[in-house]
Amino acid sequence: MSLYIPKDYRATLMPEMMEQAITILKEEFPQALADELDLRRVTAPLFVLSGTGINDDLNGTERAVSFAIKDMDGRRAEVVHSLAKWKRMKLGASKIPAGYGIYTDMNAIRADEELDNTHSLYVDQWDWERTIRVEDRNLDFLKDIASRIYGVLKQMEQLVYSMYRHIIPALPESLTFIQSEDLLKEYPTLSPRQRETEAARKYGAIFVIGIGDKLSNGEKHDGRAPDYDDWSTPTKGGYSGLNGDIILWNPVLESAFELSSMGIRVDKTALVKQLELEGCPERSELMFHKALLEDRIPLSIGGGIGQSRLCMFLLRCAHIGEVQASIWPEKMVEECAANNIYLK
């Protein structure tokens, strides 16, 4: 358990006002995102069948919560980690053309999560996915989409300020793009998380590009599964990767604050390459992977944006448990309460 206690912390809103603000943000943000990226809402599954390759492996070590289905001869299902691959299949099934896409409310359970101020067993995201063309598979396109999402974040920050004048906007005018390799070169003695914190402190809002491939020091900035984001395709300047994270400077926690992970998804070439790099080429026989290799799934870009994290950041909360109901270690609950942080 890890916990950061801000000095002299007080919640910005009373409990009933906090609930009202959360409701408004959860209504306004997805509509603004849908308008900006030409998305329509779809209903998403809470669980998928095991052994199909549809569920995401995240860093490859997290256990999925699973159960046997009585009416399907004990076949197992597992609670989703995220919906990156499911969304691509949905785009194909719905025959959504390039330039348009979908979004959904994704709810998940991550039993192996290390609980702290920003991580919970319960994950709630707006998951979105957009069909693209072959010529869109480049960094300029990725940056454009990330900037447009950031613009929606800025809109929501202004909305909060219009309702609660004491919550002062803090986001910079624009998003700063940084390659993960350049972060390593600038802060060679720091860990990836420490590098993000220093860059976020410096710029206010950053988009770290290229997450999943090994850097020049032989280590990854962070892990990514080999079968959704494209983290291996070479780009200009000797870099690699068509994915990244939106990371903000959090003035309450005084640290980097990841709000969204997103990327251009693997095509056939990147999928085969990344499966080989991660030592799991046998996955190409799974249902999702076979469909992709047989051109039955469209090219796409997509990502997830934390719902509770968005509310936590914009309402200047010190702990994600102030905006979502979950389970927390008793020691954490007690220590938070002793410092005016009340978890749901």
Compare 54 and 73 and report the one with higher pLDDT. 73
> Of the listed 136, 181, 227, 245, which one is catalytic?
245
- 245 has catalytic annotation: yes
pLDDT bucket at 64, cuts 50 / 70 / 90: confident
pLDDT band, very low/low/confident/very high, at 58 (cuts 50, 70, 90): low
At 121 the pLDDT is 92
Average pLDDT over residues 76-90: 88
* pLDDT tens profile 212-237: 999 999 999 999 999 999 999 999 99
Q: Which position among 127, 196, 227, 258 bears the catalytic label?
A: 258
Is 110 an annotated catalytic residue?
yes
pLDDT value at position 59?
Answer: 54
Catalytic residue from among 57, 88, 120, 125: 125
235-277 residue pLDDT tens: 999 999 999 999 999 999 999 999 999 999 999 999 999 999 9
> How confident is the model over 86-111, as pLDDT tens digits?
999 999 999 999 999 999 999 988 88
Q: Give the lowest-confidence range in 40-49, 59-68, 329-338.
A: 59-68
Instruction: Please say if the pLDDT value at position 31 is more than 90.
Output: yes
Return the pLDDT at 56. 72
Catalytic status, residue 261: yes
| Marked catalytic residue, from 88, 110, 195, 309 | 110
* pLDDT higher than 90, residue 63: no
- Which is the catalytic residue, given 120, 179, 260, 261? 261
* Res 82: pLDDT: 78
pLDDT for 185 beyond 60: yes
**How does the average pLDDT of the chain come out, rounded?**
94
* Structural domains of the chain, ranges and CATH numbers in brackets: 15-337 (3.30.930.10)
Report which of 280, 284, 268 is spatially closest to residue 232, judged by C-alpha positions: 268
> How confident is residue 49, by pLDDT bands cut at 50, 70 and 90?
confident
Q: In what order do the strands lie in the sheet with 205-209?
A: 39-41, 101-109, 122-131, 300-306, 255-264, 243-250, 205-209, 176-179
pLDDT reading at 61 higher than 70: no
Half-sphere exposure of 254 (CA within 13 A, CB side): 6
Catalytic, 56? Answer yes
Does the pLDDT at position 60 exceed 60?
no
Whether 166 and 111 have beta carbons less than 8 Å apart is answered as no
Q: How confident is the model at residue 171 (pLDDT cuts 50, 70, 90)?
A: very high
Encoded tokens for 113: 């999560």
**Angle CA(48)–CA(59)–CA(103) in degrees, nearest 5?**
50
Rounded Cα–Cα distance for residues 171 and 158 (Å): 10
Percent of the chain at pLDDT > 70 equals 98
